[in-house]
Amino acid sequence: MTIRLVQARKRIKTFVSFASLRLKLFACFVLLVLTACQAAPVTTATSVPVPTLPRPVETRSIPTAVPVTLVPPPTPTVLPTPAVTPTAVPVALETWKLFESPDKTFAFHYPPDWSGRGYTQAITRTLRLIEVDTLVLRGPGGSAGPEFVMLYNWAALDPTQPPANVTAWSSVAGLSKLFLYSDCMTTFDSPAPVTLAGQQTMGTKFVAQCDRLYAGYLIGIVYKGVNYGLVVDVRAEDWDAWRPTFETLFASFAFSP
């Protein structure tokens, strides 16, 4: 009886010990699970930098700059204004030809190697028809040589203004632009006093850019209510060479008494 009781107690103690051990093992397992859950690291998505690939080098074709040649502007031609009274060069005028108008109103001398013709010029590019008696003389060299144009006997461009020496030059300039230099760029200088055929009147120098640059001089004058105009021109580079001839021609111009 006693032996059985002892054995029963041992079994009970063993069972309790085993249960206690199982309980401790379970508690440890639960503790490990909780610890593992708490200690589990939080994974954060981290952006991985994309490696920068080197960009290909672009090759551009740059055109070679064309060298610019700077051309200096042409030197303006300085035209000497004829003397207040044109002075004849000491030449034997008897060797020059004489032109006298059909009505004996005016006359002048010109070099013997010059030639030309006379005609009546009708101008239709105005408000009303204007007719101008015209005489054209050319020296050696053809169209590139010296030229003398005599304009006369035209109606006033502005009927409200009577013919006068003060304004006659502007009428000559207007007529010249209409049919003498219609295809040229013409620039007139300011008029200046000049004496022609014993009368005080006005003249002006000009340049005309046509096929080449021409230099010229014109004079307007009124005699007995009739308009007259004298125009000379030549290549700009030849002006100085021909100026004495022009002045002699101007000096020989005279009206009949």
Q: Quick check: is 129 in a domain?
A: yes
Average pLDDT over residues 35-64: 52
Q: 32 and 98: one domain?
A: no
Residue of 201 and 162 predicted with greater confidence:
201
- Spatial contact of 220 and 201, defined as CB atoms under 8 Å apart: yes
Q: 240 and 143: one domain?
A: yes
Average pLDDT over residues 35-52: 52
Per residue in 66-122, pLDDT tens? Answer: 454 444 445 445 555 554 556 666 667 788 999 999 899 999 999 999 999 999 888
Q: 113 and 31: one domain?
A: no
Q: Quick check: is 151 in a domain?
A: yes
Answer yes or no: is pLDDT of 221 > 90. Answer: yes
Q: 148 and 235: one domain?
A: yes
Residue of 116 and 128 predicted with greater confidence:
116
Q: Quick check: is 140 in a domain?
A: yes
Q: Quick check: is 82 in a domain?
A: no
Residue of 14 and 167 predicted with greater confidence:
167
Q: Give the per-residue pLDDT at 39.
A: 46
Q: Quick check: is 117 in a domain?
A: yes
Domain housing 9: 1-36
Q: 98 and 30: one domain?
A: no
The pLDDT mean for the chain works out to 78
Q: 138 and 243: one domain?
A: yes
Per residue in 132-143, pLDDT tens? Answer: 999 999 998 887
Domains of the chain: total: 2
Q: Quick check: is 79 in a domain?
A: no
Answer yes or no: is pLDDT of 152 > 80. Answer: yes
Q: Give the per-residue pLDDT at 56.
A: 54
Q: What are phi and psi of 40, to 5 degrees?
A: -65, 125
Considering the chain, what percentage of its residues have pLDDT values greater than 70? Answer: 61
- Spatial contact of 204 and 217, defined as CB atoms under 8 Å apart: yes
Q: 152 and 28: one domain?
A: no
Q: 201 and 111: one domain?
A: yes
Average pLDDT over residues 31-55: 52
Q: 20 and 130: one domain?
A: no
Q: 26 and 102: one domain?
A: no
- CATH assignment at residue 168: 3.40.1000.10
Q: 20 and 100: one domain?
A: no
Answer yes or no: is pLDDT of 162 > 70. Answer: yes
Answer yes or no: is pLDDT of 201 > 60. Answer: yes
- Spatial contact of 216 and 208, defined as CB atoms under 8 Å apart: yes
How, if at all, do strands 106-110 and 97-100 pair? antiparallel
Q: Quick check: is 80 in a domain?
A: no
Answer yes or no: is pLDDT of 30 > 90. Answer: no
The residues, any chain, with a CB within 8 Å of residue 242's CB and separated by 6 or more, are 139, 146, 234
Q: Give the per-residue pLDDT at 9.
A: 60
Residue of 200 and 70 predicted with greater confidence:
200
Tokens of 104: 């004996």
Q: 2 and 111: one domain?
A: no
Q: Quick check: is 83 in a domain?
A: no
Residue of 198 and 25 predicted with greater confidence:
198
